[in-house]
Chain A
Amino acid sequence: MADTVRAMTCAVICCAALHTLAAAAVPTIPKPVIPPGYQPQHERDERGLWLELDEYEKAVIASPLRIREAALDDYIKNLVCRIGKDYCGDFRVYVMRNPYFNASMAANGMMLVWTGALTRVGSEDELATVIGHEIAHYEMAHTLAQFRNIKKGMAIGSIFDIGLAVIGVPIPVGQMTAVLNVLAFSREEEEQADLLGAQLMLDAGFDPHATYRIWRDLIQEDQRAETKREEPGLFTKTHPDSAARAQVLEAWAHSISRPAAAEPADHETFRALIAANYSWLMEDQIKTARYGRTEYLLEQQAQFGMPEGFVHFYRAQMLMQRAEAGDAQAARAEYALATNAAAPPEAFRNYGYLLLKDNDPAAARVQFQRYLTAKPDATDRAMVEFYISEVP
């Protein structure tokens, strides 16, 4: 009996403790520190920073890597305004052609969204998470805070550099060190932006559970990477660990009740836009030659409803580029599936080349002919016709 009472008492205490811990784990949402329509104040450093950023923005606008696809551009801008609400007028949004996952926000309201973020989010809710995070950086004036930290660090670093120059090492090691210290500081800002961004996307009617799903997906993609882009250490110190981010955001998402969305997420428009631009998005991804990541993305995109023939085609492309044991055979199956569905004309051509390698010239010729029929103005017609004439 005494044992039972002791056990029950222990259970009650443990439950209470767990409840307290769980309550403590629910994070507090930080507040914006600048109002909508904010302009740089009289401090010279802030005005200088804005001027520098304005100059950089001119280069961004002129960059050939800026996406000029009106439908995609307008869609992202509308999403930014939906989440940013009263801050909408503060932002200029540029979609940049870069196959890696990233987005950024500058102090002057210039937001950059890399196309790699578009290929990785599985829904409008997840894209809203990314955008909410960047808007939060702006509302909390993180760039300015970071800039001032760099300046402070540089001042200290410069004294160290003078010392090095005196002993014959005229390089800015001190400044490098200052930059590293500042990058470490930005982890805290990233965590704050995660939380305020999550609140912003929730307030705009998006699913709060998307905030941690996106990190879970990125973790899985990282696990599939054959070659890690950033070795643990330098870069990863600047951003909180993805698992930790997911954990904090999941705790928050489970702690709140979602208000009825005034305007539900428009997944169909988002899906249609990605599908319309899928070819060049995936061409860029294939060029990264990061096979594990590409393979994972293709699995995700198949689930997300990207055009089946295109997904098969790019999987075949990845397999041919990776060229491990069994990849050519798997690629042949993928090309066969692609060419039986709606796929780029290049699927016929590349299938033909693979059939040539497999000593199946008759089948290769058929695919080459299908390619030239589907793409009569093909710039590589001479090469394809050469192989048609070469094969017996």
Chain B
Amino acid sequence: MNIRSMLGCCAVLLLTGCATTPPYTELPAGPVTVGSVRFDVDAGWNVAAPKIWLVSNGVLRVQEGGPYWTRDGQQLDQIIVYPDIRDGEALEKKAPKQAAYPAFRANMLPNEIVALVESTLTKVFGEGDALVTSSGLRPQKFGDQKGFAFDLALSVSNGPDYKGLVGGFVADGKLQLAVYLGAVPYYFDLHRESAARIIASARLTGP
């Protein structure tokens, strides 16, 4: 099979997958467990399909993994949950090797996790198309777990600016992480309290 045939087959498969998956379903308010972590989710959030298409910077991208929760659509606001990231794994587990996503290490301290998130989100939004910076790294407890939180700023070459909140902790050698991103000036502030409450509610579920 030559490269032209392969491109054709890939396009058919991807478009078929896109057409058969409903983009969003309403997330019932209350506890939602993702991997080993339980969140208390406010009313009004929707969960995106595990594989969705996004137009970012004029380029059609597939976003796979998640889950992704949103209120007004992922271009405007979203909470991305990265559950149970093991030593040696990237946050975007299904990313191609050539994309060179950095890996989580179980002995990482919060400053290294900040760098991990910055690099990962730069790649998610497109290297050379996105600029991710962080600030305000601070300690935060998630139940009994000692964790961290920090703020994000994201600029993309052809789209709105975003601000973000990140919270997470490392337990049993696995990283539990949640990221909220909202377009500025309006959407980030609109859902900030709710998103911060959801992220802060993260608790490790028992064995």
Does B69 have its Cβ within 8 Å of any Cβ on chain A? Answer: no
B98 touches A229 (CB 8 A): yes
Does B20 have its Cβ within 8 Å of any Cβ on chain A? Answer: no
Does B25 have its Cβ within 8 Å of any Cβ on chain A? Answer: no
A350 touches B111 (CB 8 A): yes
- Residues on B with C-beta less than 8 A from A353 are 109, 111-112
Interface residues on A, range: 35 or more
Minimum C-beta distance from B183 to chain A (A): 13
Minimum C-beta distance from A207 to chain B (A): 29
Does B89 have its Cβ within 8 Å of any Cβ on chain A? Answer: no
Does B1 have its Cβ within 8 Å of any Cβ on chain A? Answer: no
A114 touches B128 (CB 8 A): yes
B100 touches A286 (CB 8 A): no
A96 touches B105 (CB 8 A): no
Given A231-B98, A289-B102, the answer on whether A176 and B4 have CB atoms closer than 8 Å is yes
A171 touches B11 (CB 8 A): yes
- Residues on A with C-beta less than 8 A from B138 are 380, 382-383, 386
B119 touches A288 (CB 8 A): yes
B131 touches A64 (CB 8 A): yes
- Residues on A with C-beta less than 8 A from B137 are 379-380, 382-383
Does A234 have its Cβ within 8 Å of any Cβ on chain B? Answer: yes
- Residues on B with C-beta less than 8 A from A65 are 128-129, 131, 155, 157
Given A320-B112, A356-B109, the answer on whether A100 and B139 have CB atoms closer than 8 Å is no
Minimum C-beta distance from B20 to chain A (A): 16
A96 touches B4 (CB 8 A): no
A287 touches B109 (CB 8 A): no
Does A133 have its Cβ within 8 Å of any Cβ on chain B? Answer: no
Minimum C-beta distance from A372 to chain B (A): 13
Interface of B is mostly: mixed
A321 touches B115 (CB 8 A): yes
- Choose among B118, B148, B158 the residue that contacts A287 (Cβ–Cβ < 8 A): B118
Find the residue from A100, A177, A228, A323 having the highest chain B CB count within 10 A: A323
B8 touches A288 (CB 8 A): no
Bound state CA distance, A229 and B123, in angstroms? 13
A59 touches B158 (CB 8 A): yes
Does B127 have its Cβ within 8 Å of any Cβ on chain A? Answer: yes
Contact with B along A379-390 (1 / 0, CB 8 A): 110110010000
Given A173-B4, A231-B98, the answer on whether A386 and B158 have CB atoms closer than 8 Å is no
- Residues on B with C-beta less than 8 A from A286 are 115, 119
B128 touches A98 (CB 8 A): yes
B128 touches A323 (CB 8 A): no
- Residues on B with C-beta less than 8 A from A97 are 128, 131
Bound state CA distance, A229 and B109, in angstroms? 29
Does A63 have its Cβ within 8 Å of any Cβ on chain B? Answer: yes
Given A64-B155, A353-B112, the answer on whether A171 and B128 have CB atoms closer than 8 Å is no
Does A180 have its Cβ within 8 Å of any Cβ on chain B? Answer: yes
- Choose among B11, B101, B156 the residue that contacts A289 (Cβ–Cβ < 8 A): B101
- Residues on A with C-beta less than 8 A from B176 are none
Residue of A with least CB distance to B116: A321
Minimum C-beta distance from A128 to chain B (A): 23
Bound state CA distance, A87 and B97, in angstroms? 43
Minimum C-beta distance from B112 to chain A (A): 6
- Residues on A with C-beta less than 8 A from B205 are none
Does A357 have its Cβ within 8 Å of any Cβ on chain B? Answer: yes
B158 touches A100 (CB 8 A): no
Bound state CA distance, A19 and B188, in angstroms? 70
B7 touches A173 (CB 8 A): yes
Given A171-B15, A349-B111, the answer on whether A233 and B3 have CB atoms closer than 8 Å is yes
Q: Which residues between 1 and 35 of chain B lie within 8 Å of chain A, taking CB atoms?
A: 3-4, 7-8, 11-12, 15
A-side residues, CB < 8 A to B, are: 59, 63-65, 96-100, 114, 169, 171, 173, 176-177, 180, 226-231, 233-234, 286-290, 317, 320-321, 323, 349-350, 353, 356-357, 379-380, 382-383, 386
Supplied contacts A176-B8, A357-B107, A383-B139, 14 more A-B pairs, CB within 8 Å:
A64-B155, A64-B157, A96-B128, A99-B128, A171-B15, A173-B4, A176-B7, A229-B100, A230-B98, A233-B3, A289-B100, A321-B112, A380-B111, A386-B138
| A–B Cβ pairs within 8 angstroms, 28 of them | A59-B157, A64-B131, A97-B128, A99-B128, A169-B8, A173-B7, A176-B4, A176-B7, A176-B11, A177-B4, A227-B97, A229-B98, A229-B100, A233-B3, A234-B3, A286-B119, A287-B115, A289-B100, A290-B100, A321-B112, A323-B103, A350-B111, A353-B112, A380-B136, A380-B138, A382-B139, A383-B139, A386-B138
